[in-house]
């Protein structure tokens, strides 16, 4: 494969996108790396701290067709992370999810079909398959999303794949399980709980706490995306799993243990509407490309807790902003 000379990363100021941007700078030496990010409540320039002149940062919206067309000139790869990503928010603000996740992806695809030779990775989620009591979903299984978030991601996956069939795009889709690690917005389970505990608060476990997720350390996910970028086939979907399935109470207990705190800090709260019981995927296909996660849940969680403890200056302003007002309305019992 020829080295990429110019890579566009959408959503590169967010959690996973920023880790991927760091990886791209290291693993594609000589490539011009551009980040396109709207800096919504979830985007944070501080996530790209230290990268300085190694990247070009463009603040803008993936729905802006004129801007996207300009940025696609001379590009040879796009890695598309930009999205509205939080299930709870999608219950209250679903229009934002449809706009960015569906129409924004459509805008990128329209530009991509006018860019011959472009390689495109559309980053998606295991949530598009829906919940599954036993066993694991494979890439060819039907999509059965439960929330406006996962339905908008499923729509964008299908749209992306349709551009392979119709326009011959060289595009692959990745569907990953729950990520955790440094720089994740404290609206998501692990950083919310770690930062609440740092603040002396309790942690709100939804429902019975028995819902199950498979967890992957963010850097492992990024390595899988980079591998798919280089070796993935056009029109192919790749599940990316962490292989560390746990129920939410087990995750909560692991956090409490890592922070030396007791179970009295757990507070059971009203369940999330439509709360998917369990996500599970088979990752044999991406493993056949050569991928294997490196971080165990215990070591990844220790790194994550240490990062949040050392970086209160990163998360305190985030928790004081949009986050607070949104959650006060959404879940009063917090």
The contact pattern for ligand NAD, residues 163-202, with x = CB under 6 A and - = no contact, is: -------------x-xx-----x-----------------
Compare residues 35 and 176 and give the one whose CB is closer to ligand TYD. Answer: 176
Single residue of 11, 17, 182, 204 touching ligand TYD by CB under 6 A: 204
Q: Which of 85, 90, 107, 146 binds ligand NAD (CB under 6 A)?
A: 85
Q: What is the 3-state secondary structure (H, E, C) of the chain?
A: CCCCCEEEEECCCCHHHHHHHHHHHHHCCCCEEEEEECCCCCCCHHHHCCCHHHEEEEECCCCCHHHHHHHCCCCCEEEECCCCCCHHHHHHCHHHHHHHHHHHHHHHHHHHCCCCCCEEEEEEEHHHHCCCCCCCECCCCCCCCCCHHHHHHHHHHHHHHHHHHHHCCEEEEEEECEEECCCCCCCCHHHHHHHHHHCCCCEEEECCCCCEEEEEEHHHHHHHHHHHHHHCCCCCEEEECCCCEEEHHHHHHHHHHHCCCCHHHEEEECCCCCCCCECCECCHHHHHCCCCCCCCHHHHHHHHHHHHHHCHHHHHHHHHCHHHHHHHHHCCCC
Q: Which residues are catalytic?
A: 126-127, 149
Q: Does 83 bind ligand NAD (CB under 6 A)?
A: yes
If one asks whether residue 37 binds ligand NAD (CB under 6 A), the answer comes out as yes
Mask for 40-79, x = binds ligand TYD (CB under 6 A): ----------------------------------------
Residue 156 site contact among ligand TYD, ligand NAD, none (CB < 5 to 8 Å, cut-off depends on kind): none
Binding-site partner at residue 204 among ligand TYD, ligand NAD, none, CB < 5 to 8 Å by type: ligand TYD
Q: Is 189 in the site for ligand TYD (CB under 6 A)?
A: yes
* Residues of span 206-235 touching ligand TYD by CB under 6 A: 206, 211, 213
């Amino acid at each position: 494969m020829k080295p990429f000379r110019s890579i566009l990363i959408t959503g590169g100021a967010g959690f996973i996108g920023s880790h991927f941007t760091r990886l791209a700078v290291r693993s594609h030496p000589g490539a011009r790396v551009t980040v396109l990010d709207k800096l919504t409540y979830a985007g944070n320039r501080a996530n790209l701290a230290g990268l300085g002149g190694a990247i070009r940062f463009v603040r803008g919206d993936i729905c802006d067709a004129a801007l996207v067309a300009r940025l696609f000139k001379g590009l040879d790869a796009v890695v598309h992370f930009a999205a509205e990503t939080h299930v709870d928010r999608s219950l209250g603000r679903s229009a934002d999810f449809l706009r960015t996740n569906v129409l924004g992806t459509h805008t990128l695809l329209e530009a991509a079909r006018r860019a011959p030779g472009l390689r495109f990775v559309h980053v998606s989620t295991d949530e598009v398959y829906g919940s599954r009591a036993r066993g694991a979903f494979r890439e060819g299984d039907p999509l059965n999303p439960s929330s406006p978030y996962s339905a908008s991601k499923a729509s964008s996956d299908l749209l992306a794949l349709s551009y392979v069939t119709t326009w011959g795009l060289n595009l692959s889709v990745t569907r990953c399980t729950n990520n955790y690690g440094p720089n994740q917005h404290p609206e998501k389970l692990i950083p919310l709980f770690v930062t609440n505990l740092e603040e002396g608060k309790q942690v709100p476990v939804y429902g019975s706490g028995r819902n199950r997720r498979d967890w992957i350390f963010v850097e492992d996910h990024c390595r899988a995306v980079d591998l798919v970028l280089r070796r993935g086939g056009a029109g192919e979907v790749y599940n990316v799993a962490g292989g560390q399935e746990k129920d939410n109470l087990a995750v909560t207990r692991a956090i409490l243990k890592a922070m030396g705190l007791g179970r009295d800090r757990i507070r059971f709260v009203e369940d999330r509407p439509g709360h998917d019981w369990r996500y599970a995927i088979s990752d044999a296909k991406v493993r056949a490309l050569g991928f294997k996660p490196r971080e165990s849940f215990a070591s990844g969680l220790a790194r994550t807790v240490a990062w949040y403890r050392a970086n209160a200056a990163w998360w305190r302003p985030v928790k004081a902003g949009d986050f607070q007002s949104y959650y006060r309305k959404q879940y009063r019992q917090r």
